[in-house]
Structure 1
Amino acid sequence: MATRRIISSEKTILDQDDHDGSGPAADQKSNISPAVPMDVIVKLLAFTLAMIVVPIGSYFATVNTLFKGNSTFAGALAAVMANVVLIAYVVVAYTEDQSDQLDPKKKESKKDL
């Protein structure tokens, strides 16, 4: 079994990782912004709440009023409403993703003016 000897003049992996704060890394300002923007979190929480409230609310609102006690139709409507909320979330996420791609183009056109 062979082992590797560390020569004193050779830097180890730990020595290579150590830096004293000088150099190009020290000149850069630390980025402490959150990884996920706050508006994305708010949208996710809103759609999560809607995913809970809309199907259950539509079931109980229609089971005795619109469908006269027929829970099968009310349950089917609740399932449809859950899919509507899900599709709405996908549409909002897709349009938000496209707006992120369009923003750099707008910034570049403003720089040219």
Structure 2
Amino acid sequence: MTSRRIVSPEKGVLEKDDVDFKPKDGEKSNIAPAVPAHVIYKLLGFTLAMIAGPIGTYFVTLNLLFGGNTTYAGALAAIMANVVLVGYIIVAFKEDQSDALEAAEKERKGK
């Protein structure tokens, strides 16, 4: 058996070129990043803290504080991971609140 190919004169979704991405006359294109740089820096800082904090805590406290007891050192490392995570959440909430306060202040000054 053979199969027939259906030839359509219409363009497919991928072939259509209806959208013009060029800015209109007198408009500037928006080249600002989608995420501000300070947010990326905070994320990178907390990522490094999430890696170095618990691992460093484990190895430092293993022999110095707990005398070779890996259970206590591991538990403290897990607690440190949770401390870093809670710290990131607190910083994120404060940043979100400060953005809302700035928007409210601009709106109040605009009236």
1:73, CA displacement in angstroms? 0.2
Q: Cα deviations across residues 34-58 of structure 1 (Å, max 9, x unaligned)? A: 1110000000000000001110111
Distance 1:30 1:70, change over 3 A: same
What TM-score, normalized to structure 1? Answer: 0.76
Q: What's the Cα RMSD here? A: 2.5
Question: More helix per residue: 1 or 2?
Answer: 1
> Which residue of structure 2 lines up, in the alignment, with residue 107 of structure 1?
106
Runs of 4+ in 1 over 2 A off after TM superposition: 16-19, 24-27, 108-112
1:65, CA displacement in angstroms? 1.3
Q: For 1:34 and 1:86, locate their aligned partners in 2 and report how far apart those are by CA, in whole Å.
A: 26
What TM-score, normalized to structure 2? Answer: 0.77
> Which residue of structure 1 lines up, in the alignment, with residue 13 of structure 2?
none
Q: Does 2:83 match 1:84?
A: yes
Distance 1:100 1:74, change over 3 A: same
The DSSP-based 3-state class of the residue aligned with 1:86 is helix
Q: Does 2:72 match 1:73?
A: yes
Structure 2: gaps spanning 5 or more residues: 1-5, 11-15
Give the alignment of 1:6-85 within 5 angstroms. Answer: 14=17, 16-17=18-19, 25-85=24-84
Identical residues among aligned pairs (%): 57
> Which residue of structure 1 lines up, in the alignment, with residue 94 of structure 2?
95
Structure 1: gaps spanning 5 or more residues: 6-12
Letter in 1 for 2:36: P
Letter in 2 for 1:34: P
